[in-house]
Structure 1
């Protein structure tokens, strides 16, 4: 083999090894949480399938799940007067109004039992149970989840673990400041779903290396609050409002280091077809592997 061919082969091997760095070793263990205490996205089932697929195909990690308990009780609807009331309608309304307090009490009792089931499922996020995992994914979680210990969870991330959040992970734990601070922002509002052009802020980062200078995608786009650009390493952003097209800085995806741990967040992932999009899957996989310290990516941000 001549020197030129040998040098070419060595270069090729270096590229391949960098692409699969981390995957060749022992797979990391990810705990995927799809529990919700607020709005529940229909795309969660798709998210679970995609994350399982990425784990199997990459070989970089395995996935375990904390899923929503079945048969969540639904609150009774408050009786409303009919638009064109007659005598029979008035009688029916009175009967419904009389029954409403009892139905509400019954719902509250059933819901309390269900919340206990939710808390039982989330015991996998106790300080002791988390010792078995290298990272946690909040896949479209919402609301104040009944974790065993919120602060212990954030401390676990800071100890050197990985946290990955998709879409409404930023609509979770609004009242728990250490979580919002660690994530880097929280959901404020959104308009109608829109086709946007995401700007690639770091083409060298594993979550963005497969993208061109911009990436066009249709999804529900979040507007954030509690966001400070210097405190995150930007990955994707918009330079105009997704619905009003007015100039501005609208973050879409970012990453940051907290203590010895790593956080990757992408606000994309409302729609099923976004999760099924191979481009999105590469974006997500790159972010996961970076957070797990399986892929290199230099980042810069203020503490």
Structure 2
């Protein structure tokens, strides 16, 4: 159910109008930097996960969707492989109001390579991308906290991806997964978080650094990880992510 519909129901404006609508997610994949060739596969995967996971999906690369009226139609916004400065000042303000009023956020992979000059977004995504070693080597991911996005995964999970290092350790978040830097070459963080969540800014926020390769979006384990994060952001699944 969207936040707008919930308000109408509270006011009695939809009494007797039938079943409630499912939560609706806005999937945003605008790029002003690196363009991942996995974007089409990622968008299609989220559409399919929505059909299976109980939420509706609208996908766009148009930043005009970031207005108060348009965002009121959604329960969560997914920054899916975004890069660079993708919103103007008014759009940023509308999105900040959306989150502070309880709207959800999910960020995938290069969502952390986005909006470096906007402090609110930095706090929302949790950490900014700094670098990654060449290629997409195999590495071992450790699940360190229970969450809808980690429950389907083994405690130690071998995965192939682009292993992001961040400018700083994320703060005010609950780390859900780390990558074992001894299992690949080029790690620079030591203790290396790779997925986390928080509720520090009013709404639910979830981020995973995984998702570089198009092939990954067809993988059952990764799709389960992504689905859990999206359902959490949309308010369909609970997770212990702090207050």
Q: Under TM normalisation by the shorter chain, which class is it?
A: 0.7 to 0.9
| Greater helix fraction, Structure 1 or Structure 2 | 1
Matched residue count: 222
Q: Is the 8 A contact 1:186 1:227 kept in 2?
A: no
Q: Which runs of 5+ in 1 are unaligned?
A: 1-23, 68-120
Q: Which runs of 5+ in 2 are unaligned?
A: 1-18
Partner of 1:48: 43
Q: Deviations over 1:251-286 (max 9, x none)?
A: 110001133301010000110111111101100110
Distance 1:34 1:246 in 2: 28
Distance 2:188 2:65 in 1: 44
TM-score for the superposition, normalised by structure 1: 0.69
Distance 1:245 1:292 in 2: 33
TM-score for the superposition, normalised by structure 2: 0.86
Q: Is the 8 A contact 1:190 1:221 kept in 2?
A: yes
Structure 1 segments (4+ residues) deviating >3 Å: 244-247
Given the alignment of the two structures, is residue 199 of structure 1 paired with residue 193 of structure 2, yes or no?
no
Partner of 1:278: 220
Given the alignment of the two structures, is residue 174 of structure 1 paired with residue 116 of structure 2, yes or no?
yes
Q: Note the C-alpha offset of 1:296.
A: 1.8
Q: Deviations over 1:163-195 (max 9, x none)?
A: 011000000001111100121100001112211
- What is the root-mean-square deviation in Å for CA atoms of aligned residues? 1.9
Larger radius of gyration: 1
Which secondary structure state, in structure 2, belongs to the residue aligned with residue 149 of structure 1? helix
- Tell me which of 101, 111, 119 is aligned to 1:159: 101
Q: Call closer, same or farther: CA 1:228–1:52 in 2, change over 3 Å.
A: closer
Partner of 1:144: 85
Given the alignment of the two structures, is residue 258 of structure 1 paired with residue 200 of structure 2, yes or no?
yes
Counterparts of residues 10-89 of structure 1 (less than 5 Å): 26-58=21-53, 60-67=54-61
